[in-house]
Amino acid sequence: MDYYFFTSHSSSEDERGAVKRFHDDLERQLWVQAGLGVGGILDRYGLAPGWERSTTDRADWVPSMVALCSGDYFADPDCREEWVRFAGRVRKHTAERAPAEKCLITVRWRGSLPQRPEGVEPRYLNRAWWPPVHGPDDGSGLADFMRHRGQSKEYYAIVTDVVRQILEAKHIDLAADPSSTGPEPRSEPRESEVPVVRDNAVRSIAISYVGADQPWADWLRGVFREKGHQVDLFRWNAHHETSLKDSLDVAASRTDRVVVLLSRHYLINRSRQPQDWESALVDSAHPEKIVRVRLDSTPLPAELRTTSMITLEQPTAEVVDELVRAVESAPVGNR
């Protein structure tokens, strides 16, 4: 994973999940513009499995910072530390190499911005982005705009423009802090969340997929049927009103295991509503029944990057057997 940006925001600013939604929309648009294998970092999410970091270390090495500015932001000690550390890198790079101010991207998030918070250079606040239909002094910001017009063309134009700035910042190649080594590998791998207890009982299995992955769904149905299990296919249509969470909850209520086929087509969809991947695949009504299967190298949504997962991109006999074991670990009739 090549990290292009991180989103810096106050811990009090995630009303209705707006911060997370904005960050996820930036990532999706970044995939469109820069291709797969890139992403951003948000809070406890964002880093690929096998990596760890502290809350503010990202300010020392990530190429750009998207700061969601508000009164609460500049009153938050963690946000102020991130700002000071990242702005210090910008000043140092500008003095020693080339202008790098574009790497610090400011977005007016909520309320009137302070005139001059201590240690913050006014030019960053003067260019803070706000929705085009509002004036700079009406007390609103992007969070308010999203609440009322979060599905509008104007909102997605904002996302596209911020991503444009992220890409420009990437080309600047902002120097990392000399003391930073980037994300550090975990000393111990994450243990699988799926207990392996195998028997010969017949399981009922649901496979959740999208139409473009029909061949994978058909093939896996054959694999599980050869083992004697009952299999139902649940084709998820992102254009319908049913959310992914509701679709998976229905599947889980009817079966012993739900195998979710995560692919480019599944993850980068054109749903009418933004998907809450965490509630659907991590905090679902039956999380113990979910088996996450990755079909390709598409970057995962931030909140899925540290969850247990079986990678089926190269379906060797060993990987297929691992998937069968995960499915057969489900208690029979646990509905």
CATH number at residue 238: 3.40.50.10140
Report pLDDT for 197. 41
Phi and psi dihedrals of 179, rounded to 5? -85, -5
231 and 88 share a domain?
no
Report pLDDT for 14. 61
Lowest mean pLDDT among 135-144, 212-221, 235-244, 325-334: 135-144
Report pLDDT for 279. 77
Report pLDDT for 269. 63
CATH of the domain at 113: 3.40.50
Would residue 145 count as lying in a domain?
yes
CA-nearest of 309, 289, 293 to 203 is: 289
Token duo for residue 18: 């707006």
Name the 3-class secondary structure at 330. Answer: coil
Across the range 257-284, mean pLDDT stands at: 74
Token duo for residue 321: 């057997």
Is the pLDDT at 190 greater than 50, yes or no?
no
Token duo for residue 254: 């009817």
Would residue 316 count as lying in a domain?
yes
Would residue 188 count as lying in a domain?
no
Report pLDDT for 115. 65
Across the range 290-294, mean pLDDT stands at: 92
Across the range 240-263, mean pLDDT stands at: 86
What share of the chain has pLDDT > 90, as a percent? 21
User: What's the domain range around 30?
Assistant: 2-178
Query: Could you report the per-residue pLDDT of 148-161, keeping only the tens digit for each?
Result: 887 778 888 888 89
CA–CA dist 274, 277 (Å, integer): 9
CA–CA dist 258, 19 (Å, integer): 30
119 and 219 share a domain?
no
| Side chain identity at residue 143, one-letter code | A
Would residue 333 count as lying in a domain?
no
With 0-12 / 13-18 / 19 or more C-beta atoms within 10 angstroms meaning exposed / middle / buried, residue 138 is exposed
Would residue 196 count as lying in a domain?
no
Q: Contacts from 220-228 at CB under 8 Å and sequence distance 24+? A: 220/259, 220/261, 220/323, 223/320, 223/323, 223/324, 224/324, 224/327, 227/324, 227/328, 228/200, 228/202
Number of structural domains, the chain? 2
Contact 8, 72 (CB under 8 A): no
160 and 292 share a domain?
no
Q: How many helices (H) does the chain have, and how many strands (E)?
A: 11, 11
Contact 97, 176 (CB under 8 A): no
Token duo for residue 289: 């029944």
Contact 68, 198 (CB under 8 A): no
Across the range 275-286, mean pLDDT stands at: 75
Query: Could you report the per-residue pLDDT of 195-223, keeping only the tens digit for each?
Result: 434 456 778 999 999 888 888 888 899 88
Would residue 209 count as lying in a domain?
yes
Report pLDDT for 39. 81
Report pLDDT for 13. 61
Would residue 322 count as lying in a domain?
yes
Report pLDDT for 36. 57
Q: Is the pTM of this model over 0.75?
A: no
226 and 285 share a domain?
yes
6 and 81 share a domain?
yes
Contact 290, 284 (CB under 8 A): yes
209 and 321 share a domain?
yes
Q: Predicted confidence band at 258 (pLDDT cuts at 50, 70, 90)?
A: very high
Is the pLDDT at 193 greater than 60, yes or no?
no
42 and 169 share a domain?
yes
Residues sharing a CB contact under 8 Å with residue 10, sequence separation 6 or more, in sequence order: 68, 70, 72, 73, 75, 76, 79
Query: Could you report the per-residue pLDDT of 37-69, keeping only the tens digit for each?
Result: 678 888 644 444 444 444 458 889 999 999 998
CA–CA dist 294, 7 (Å, integer): 26
Query: Could you report the per-residue pLDDT of 163-184, keeping only the tens digit for each?
Result: 999 999 999 999 998 877 565 4
84 and 120 share a domain?
yes
DSSP string, 170-197: HHHTPPPPTT--SSEEPSSPPPPSS---
Would residue 335 count as lying in a domain?
no
Across the range 304-326, mean pLDDT stands at: 84
Q: Predicted confidence band at 189 (pLDDT cuts at 50, 70, 90)?
A: very low
Mean of the per-residue pLDDT values for the chain?
A: 78
Neighbouring C-alpha atoms within 13 Å toward the C-beta of 76: 19
Distance of CA 87 to the CA centre of its chain: 25
Is the pLDDT at 234 greater than 70, yes or no?
yes
Is the pLDDT at 87 greater than 50, yes or no?
yes
CA-nearest of 62, 75, 151 to 119 is: 75
Contact 251, 234 (CB under 8 A): yes
Contact 105, 175 (CB under 8 A): no
